[in-house]
Amino acid sequence: MNIIEMRSVYREKLDLSIDECDFIYKIILKELCDIDPIKIALDPTFNLSSKSKNTLLESINMIIEDYPIDYLINKKNFYGIDFYIDENVLIPRPETEELVDWLINDNIDIKDQKNVIDLCSGSGCIGISIDINNKYLNVTLSDVSPNALKVCEINKKNLNSNVKIIQLDLNSISKSDKEYDIIISNPPYISLDESNQIGKNVKYEPDIALFTPKNKPLHFYEKILEFASKNLSKNGVIYLEINPNFISEFNQLLTNYTINHVNFKDDFRGKKRLVKLTF
């Protein structure tokens, strides 16, 4: 089978527009078969090897089953950086890039070192992006999942990052060996009641990184604030991605703490999803 004939298979089997089918086909060619998609135009009779053919056919079957392309190629671009990802971590999303951008821009002119901890790090995309973009921010990645921490280690090595990586369970909070000037987190925040509203491909992402305990939609925000009460330095700042469906409840939670300023920010979809707390 040649490269054009396989493209026709993708167009036939995927319930997408021709442009979308071709886009996916080119990604799989490049990332999994190491074939430059330019061959489609320059060498349309290029014959695929048996290995490439099998890879392409297996991939299309997985895509039909809503398997995320990002997991298929083990790659996701976040904040202009290519991160390794697999089913042990969430697929980074553009809303979270806005959270990272907020922190980076707030600290663009600093000349003194600050300690930052990324809670519920997953792939490490938040903390590593911060580390790469500001040498004055000393970043620690933390997660309860050993498998997620392995992904963090892969990204730290691949991207020559200087982050520190620790295992941390927010359900068992104690005082750390150092104070942090900044906490940033995109914790699990989808309630089980909302699980039927999320996309089909999300079923492949880890539940531990998506969902809150039953009837406790703010559980991890409570734990983050408890962590902050023990480990955030004076005048410290917290940056959070939050569930826009629980803003009132989140505001009520904040009344339990002495916070000097609360600044909500809409994401690019116009949803109140980001917040900065200044202590």
Say yes or no to pLDDT of 150 above 90.
yes
User: Which tens digits make up the pLDDT trace of 27-82?
Assistant: 999 999 999 999 999 999 999 999 999 999 999 999 999 999 999 999 999 999 99
Domain ranges of the chain: 3-65, 86-278
Give CA–CA dist 103/87, Å, rounded: 27
CATH numeric code, 86-278: 3.40.50.150
User: Which tens digits make up the pLDDT trace of 175-202?
Assistant: 777 899 999 999 998 887 776 667 777 8
Matching residue, tokens 């990586």: 165
Percent of the chain at pLDDT > 70 equals 99
Q: What pLDDT does 225 receive?
A: 96
Give CA–CA dist 59/27, Å, rounded: 11
Is 165 in a helix, a strand, or coil? strand
User: Which tens digits make up the pLDDT trace of 198-225?
Assistant: 777 788 999 888 888 888 889 999 999 9
Give CA–CA dist 278/234, Å, rounded: 10
Give 13-22 contacts, CB < 8 A, sequence gap 24+.
Answer: 13/60, 13/64, 14/60, 14/63, 14/64
